[in-house]
Amino acid sequence: MAWLPPRDPAGFSLWLCAVALLCLGLWLLGGGIWLALLGGARYYVLAGAGMTVSALLVLAGRESGVWLYQGVLFCTLIWALTEVGNNLLALWPRLWMPALLGMLLLLLLPALRRQRALRGVR
């Protein structure tokens, strides 16, 4: 079952990254809905929904979850640039965590492909 952590280290790392992504996505989605209701930016709702769906896809053994998250990361970059411009000190807090998760997911992509091949998931 894909929802339980695998026993191999790479598979467990992938599972742990997906669970962290799921937690962050749900947190952003909930906080984003609250912020949007108060009249704030709707970016957090969209990013939280994208991260949540991405994490669920990765947990289900789908490679598309990794690529969906890369799309969320690209949109986050665009949002951050439109919000603060090219001020690196202001971009850093907006981008470091999403970029780190994106790199981890890309590094763990071979583990996802290996698990998918073993389970026969399309």
Give tens-digit pLDDT for 92-114.
Answer: 999 999 999 999 999 999 988 88
Which SS3 state, helix, strand or coil, does residue 41 take?
coil
The predicted-structure confidence for 62-86, as pLDDT tens digits, reads as follows 999 999 999 999 999 999 999 999 8
Question: Where in the sequence is the domain holding 73, given as residue range(s)?
Answer: 23-117
The predicted model scores a pTM of 0.86
Query: Total domain count for the chain?
Result: 1
Question: What letters, b where the CB count within 10 A reaches 16 and e where it falls short, cover 50-70?
Answer: bbbbbbbbbbebbeebbebbe
Please provide residue 9's backbone torsions phi and psi, each rounded to the nearest 5 degrees. -60, -40
Does residue 5 form part of some domain?
A: no
Q: Amino acid letter at 108? A: L
Does residue 80 form part of some domain?
A: yes
Does residue 34 form part of some domain?
A: yes
Chain-centroid distance of CA 104 in Å reads 10
